[in-house]
Amino acid sequence: MADFAENIIWLKNDYLNKNDTRVITFGGSYGGMLAAWMRAKYPGLVQGAIAASAPVWMFPGMSQDTAGPYRLITEVFRDAQSDCPVKISKSWDVITKMGGTKTGRSQLSEIFKTCKQLDSDGVFALSNWLNGMYFDMAMVNYPYPTSFLADLPAWPVKEFCRRTNVSDDVIMAIAAGAQMYSNYTGQLKCLDLDSDPAGDLGMTGWDFQACLEMILPISSDKSVDMFPDEQFDLKSYVAYCEERWNSAARPFWLKYYFGGGDGYDYSGYSNIFFSNGRLDPWAVGGTAIIPDEDFCLSDCPNVLIEDGAHHLDLRSSNPADPESVLNARKLEVEAIKRWTSRTATKVEL
């Protein structure tokens, strides 16, 4: 962030030669967090921020709802087709059971069209891949075809669930849906569990941050969602990360430095527009959990986009955009006009 601040100063003073230029930061997801924090920490340089799908309150010491993302994903799949989460929930134990025998592993390899014959580690990798697929599919559940994380059709969650209807066999059904995510264009010959359809998004750097400073505690609870039980344990996670990266973790640093609940709030901040999509798993870690704007000093619009997934409002305009995202964009434009206006507005304290 300090680098961005230096860059803004250079742009205003040396490149534009206009020191009074107003600056608005924009960002979605991690970029949304940075946009909000830039306004918070450099209010003299940044006049306002548009922070889309930014889970700013999902770090240790802030969010108590660690199972929220997986519960929301389950709701999104249920909205698409009522029995879809039931099929997914049943599949985990079946995959584990089939993975316990050589014959079962061979069948899984054939059904999912994996590039390599699955061994025990491969079965575990398949389960992890499916877990990530459901999470990512909910994130990019857009109303038109995209290639953000993978080549996908419009409303991919709905299409996935529709494809699971091809068979009453739960594994055949899940594999049919998974083919849509992994090979929608039909150009791939097999499923490579070692590759990411999104390509290289700089995940090594993100893994370092997510391990040592931006720890996101997420759990799953099969009594309320469609995923196997998995409880997040901060102590063991920190131990793993410190060994992996040979560096000291700071799990509570974000809470103390930027704020985010439990006495460390945003009451001194202003001019930050928070938007979250109702279909986005990360919404439960953002300001969507707060019903009004009282969490900041002044002018922090807090909009929940009814038909929006992950930062849909920051994507290019599309004829299929729902009314809810069009309304959010109008509000964002209005906020930017306020913040860039030369007319000062007195804040009543």
Kindly list the catalytic residues.
Answer: 29, 280, 310
Q: Contact at 8 Å (CB) between 218 and 77? A: no
> In the numeric block, which tokens belong to residue 305?
């986009």
Non-local (6+) Cβ contacts of 2 within 8 A are none
Q: E strands along 225-288, which residues?
A: 266-270, 272-277
| CA nearest to 308, candidates 72, 87, 147 | 72
163-187 b/e with 16+ CB inside 10 Å = b?
bbeeeeebbebbbbbbbbbbbbeee
Using CA atoms, how far apart are residues 267 and 47, in angstroms rounded to an integer? 17
Residue 105 to residue 133: CA distance in whole angstroms = 20
| Lookup result for tokens 């040979």 | 246
Q: What are 94's two structure tokens?
A: 């079946």
CA distances from 117 to 109, 162, 190 (A): 6, 28, 11
57, 260 in Cβ contact below 8 A? yes
Helix axes 102-112, 84-98, angle to 10 degrees: 140
Measured in degrees and rounded to the nearest 5, phi and psi for residue 146 equal -140, 170
Comparing C-alpha atoms, which of 121, 112, 75, 76 is closest to residue 91? 112
CA distance 199 to 184: 16
